[in-house]
Each structure stands twice: as structure tokens, then as C-alpha cells.
Amino acid sequence: MAIEVKLDVMLAKRKMLLKELSEAVGISVVNLSILKKGKGKAIRFSTLNAICKALECQPSDILVFIPEDQKD
């Protein structure tokens, strides 16, 4: 099982650049890029809350559970 990060999808839907999100939530572009690429090991609820607020979305729009048998 794995958690897939769909931050790039939400950014595209909102027509927002990573830099704009970074400025809106007060998190560095580097850290957001790590999250966007799915390379992060964890995310704080406060960070997830800030991202969801800025993108006007739900956590499930950003984080998706993929069962092991359905992974690429």
C-alpha cells in the first residue's frame, strides 16, 4: 500500500504555481517540491491544513491511498 500525492493535479486545477502556493502557505518551494514529487516521508497536519486552505480543497484531493495490488 502507498499514499500518492496529487499536489500537482490540484495546482493545475487551481491554475496556481508552486511558488504562489509557497508564498500563500509560508512553506519553501523546495519543501513543497519534495512533497509534490512524492519524496516526502511525512506531512504535518498544520501544513496539510494550510495547503488545503490555499487550494480550497480537501486532504483527499491531495493524498490518495493506492493499495499495493493497484500500484503501477
Range of the domain at 25: 2-70
Instruction: Indicate the number of domains in the chain.
Output: 1
Which CATH number covers residue 29?
Answer: 1.10.260.40
β-bridge pairing 2-5 and 63-66: antiparallel
Dist. CA 17–CA 66, nearest whole Å: 26
- pLDDT averaged over every residue in the chain: 93
pLDDT in tens, 23-55: 999 999 999 999 999 898 899 999 999 999 999
pLDDT band at 16, cuts 50/70/90?
very high
Confidence band, pLDDT 50/70/90 cuts, at residue 10: very high
Residue 1 has pLDDT above 60, yes or no: no
CB 1 within 8 A of CB 67: yes
